[in-house]
Structure 1
Amino acid sequence: MPPIDTSIKEHLNALLDRGKGAGAAKAPAASPVSTALQRDGASVDFENVIAEMLGAIQDMETQLSSVLEINTLLETDLNQAKERIRELRQEREKLLSTIARLEEEMPSKRELQMVIDQLIEERSDAEITIRDLRRRDEQVGAVLKGLQDAQRALEDSRAQLQSELAAVEVRLEAALKDCGKLETRNRALEEKNAANAAAIKELEADLRMALDERFRLSIELDETRRALAAMQGR
């Protein structure tokens, strides 16, 4: 919203200076007509009214400038929050891909059971000799231990990755909430900015009406003075 027109401000300041100069000069004797106008409330201190309206407009412009600065800072914070959300999402996708790959590499329980059954059958068939049985039994034990160790390691790795994924999702949710708060505050400031701009326009319109009214009253006052002068001349 641009500030009030400079020509309007200069015109108002000139009117205020003339009003002060007129107040410093010696006031003429109150006529019956002017006394009646003052008694009826027709006399208005336009200088004070205009000064107050100028002050209000300047205050509104200052507030508007402050709101625009805050709005710029909030937009910067919002962009940073969006960039952080994008990074967290990329990290989450990488973790999901790693978990999927590990799940593909991990043998299923059915496959492990098939291997165990096969080894047991081979051990039963090898009972012909105690030596062959012991040798095969040791082989089966080693294979089983290796498979069980591999399964436990894969399960531990999967649990750790799932824990990291949960932590990333918590941070992502917090970042999304912060982003929503920033967007809400940004909208509130934009609404306040619009309200201030509308108030400034309204004050400018009231100021123009006040100037027009003062000009009209000054013309009527001059005409009244001339009429009084003409009556006194008779």
Structure 2
Amino acid sequence: MSYVFAAPAITSVPVLGRAERFPVHRVYCVGRNYVEHAQEMGFTGREPPFFFLKPADAIVPVPQGETATIPYPTLTKNLHHEIELVVAIGTGGRGIKAADAHQHIFGYAVGLDMTRRDLQGEMKKQGRPWDIGKAYDQSGPMGPITPAAQAGEVASAAIWLQVNGQDRQRSNVSKLIWNIAETIEHLSAAWELAPGDLIFTGTPEGVAAVVSGDTLVGAVDGLGELRVRIG
């Protein structure tokens, strides 16, 4: 088969302990999925889960032990960090029940949902989609994927982020409003999940601005650290 121009490269993420890489299909993100974060954004209660997407090429794979540099994005003066547990789907499906969700998980990783908060806020005020705040270039740095069998007790793991060595976000995955299995059930009712899908499961409280020169170090216990510098 020939194309009118060279086909873009497939975005892929390293897998710990394997030479093969994980090819990225779609990137789903869960909004306001920790109670304290929902409250700091002006919301309360256990609202039904909602989702937004990032393009696959927004993912920035960061090898274990290395620090990636991502540019401070254009158009914004209020860039926020959001540390997240990322679920990597290995077996697709539609209408997946929560009780069966674990059968579809390939592994887990640590990710950052970087957000142009001022642009997102302006779109919210206007009742318009806020892709410009969430789905921009290099907005999804993430570490290597740890296969599920090696990841430990992810559902009760600590999750944290430091900026320049100072705590910003610190919580536990057990505080998810909609847990991993429930999230997969809800997602697969709306979309047919496919191998290569990534799910950013939400961020805990403590989101705040970063500036050029800041170094972000985040982790989910058992999955290693993610290190990113803002250029």
Fold match (TM-score > 0.5)? no
**TM-score of the superposition, structure 1-length normalised?**
0.15
Higher percent of residues as strand:
2
**TM-score of the superposition, structure 2-length normalised?**
0.15
Larger Rg: 1
